Amino acid sequence: MLRPIGSAPRYLKSEFQHYLGAFLLQLAMMIAMTVIPFFTFQHLGGRERAAAMAYGVQVLSLGVACLLSASFISVLPNVLLCCLIGSAGFGVFYSTAILARNVISFCVLTGMAMLFFALAWPALQSWLGAQRDAALRAKSFSYFNLSIGIGLTLGPFIAGLLYGVDYRLPFLATLLLSIVSGLLLFALPHEREYFTSVPPVCPAELNVTSTLQTDADNEAYLYCGWLSNMLGWGLTGAVRTVYAGRLDQLVQQGRLVLFSPSLPLHVFTAQHGPSAATLYSWMQSVLSLGFFLTILVMGRTVRWQHQFWPVIASLVLLGGGIWLLADSHSLIVILLCHAIIGAFTGFGYMGSQCYSAANVLHKHKRLALNEGFSHSTGFFLPLAFAQLGTWYGITWPFTHTPAILAVFIALQFLSLRYAKRNAAAATLSTWNV
């Protein structure tokens, strides 16, 4: 049985310190990302397309850097140094973006910040992944996901409050939180001192028939997981950037109500009620809450695994949510739609993570590909939505998303059929190595 070196209090303290560092770094990133649209609108002279480009450059930088760093992070003598350099570099470069006076300079500075973030994020997970016992590692990662989920949920809300006081405060908060996070992570004990290792389980001790079937199912659903994750993060990026312009329009025109146009209860305008930036931060918090709660539920059961009906159900629910979001003037309905989008993103993220990590021989490469693919769609889909919105009206891409999802369901089905034909042979080949 794998056990941490040292006393129980030291073990608990180091674990909590790791989760706290991860929470603060995720919180800093969400605060930074949340202010992109309205900082672009109000201080850089851009609109939806410029905000989508700024967001896209950041997620693409993060994705490419994660792919490039994956090959050397795991072999570094001390990954905690990457946590310190990456966290501090992210905070410094992102905070200097406040000095940008145009979209291009903002993209350069924030893109550099994401390169540093990509250095820290895999490194802190690598430290936790040194836990060799599967059950303990799963428990540790569940707490890790809980900590970053709280950061995802609180970040937009805090960003909105700070931005409402002074637009520079979110950038200052990003700097301070990142530095504190880097120091906390760097102060952790070295993984070789903290964890002892145990020999891997011999395949002869396993139920080989059951394991082969499970591995074949994991291989079959790998592409479904990747496709869902790509779609989820792409639509999240579109909502975070392009829909911010729609929200700004509704508030400026006095057309956003609390409940419904026939029973408004309250009308949000530029002069009365929270600002558009504050309302936007509420929506992003609800989106992150949907993401967080979905992962929390999926982590408590495996019944959703190796089943195609949850994929279909989630896509149908997503289509309905996007269609309602397109033309809604109700804040309550808009918040509900954001929760649905967040839930789908969480579903795709959790599924892709589980299926990518299932094959021990390929998990590192597949997890890296999963990150790279999802961040690539997070770059291209917001730009596509912004361009379509420029041509046909800002609500057009959201109104027509359900039709695209119908094609996507067919693509999922075909990918599953293709994968099932190859999964069994590939799994047998892996076990015969």
Domain boundaries, the chain: 10-198, 210-427
Q: Which CATH number fits domain 10-198: 3.40.50.1370, 2.170.120.30, 3.40.50.720, 1.20.1250.20?
A: 1.20.1250.20
- Asked whether the domain spanning 210-427 has the same topology as the one spanning 10-198, the reply is yes
**pLDDT of the chain, 433 residues: tens digit per residue:** 334 444 444 445 678 898 999 999 999 999 999 899 889 988 988 888 888 889 888 988 888 887 777 666 656 667 788 889 999 999 999 999 999 989 999 999 999 999 999 888 877 877 776 666 655 665 676 677 778 888 988 988 899 899 989 999 999 999 999 999 999 999 888 766 666 544 444 444 444 444 455 567 778 888 888 899 999 989 998 888 888 888 988 988 888 988 888 777 778 876 777 888 888 888 988 998 898 888 888 877 778 888 889 989 999 999 999 999 998 999 999 999 999 999 999 898 888 877 876 775 666 667 767 777 887 788 888 889 989 988 999 899 999 999 989 988 888 888 888 877 776 555 555 444 3
Question: CB-based contacts of 149: which residues, under 8 Å, 6+ apart?
Answer: 288, 291, 292, 295, 296
Question: Among candidates 252, 244, 272, 405, which has minimal Cα distance to 334?
Answer: 244
Neighbour tally for 293: CB within 10 Å: 16
H or E stretch covering 395: none
Question: Among candidates 24, 42, 110, which has minimal Cα distance to 280?
Answer: 42
76: left (phi over 0), alpha (psi -120 to 50) or beta: beta
The pLDDT value recorded for residue 210 is 46
As a whole number, the mean pLDDT across the chain is 81
Over its C-alpha atoms, the chain yields an Rg (Å, rounded) of 22
Instruction: Give CA separation, 308 vs 184, 272, 304, 422, in Å.
Output: 42, 47, 9, 17
The pLDDT value recorded for residue 158 is 93
Question: CB-based contacts of 113: which residues, under 8 Å, 6+ apart?
Answer: 32, 58, 89, 90, 91, 92, 93, 94, 97
- CB-based contact 116:123 (threshold 8 Å): no
Q: According to CATH, what is the number of the domain 210-427?
A: 1.20.1250.20
H or E stretch covering 166: none
The pLDDT value recorded for residue 426 is 55
Which residues on neighbouring strands pair with residue 4, listed in sequence order?
195
pLDDT in tens, 83-133: 899 999 999 999 999 999 899 999 999 999 999 998 888 778 777 766 666
Q: What angle do CA 147, 153, 154 make, to 5 degrees?
A: 90
Cβ-based burial of 1 (10 A; exposed 0-12, middle 13-18, buried ≥19): exposed
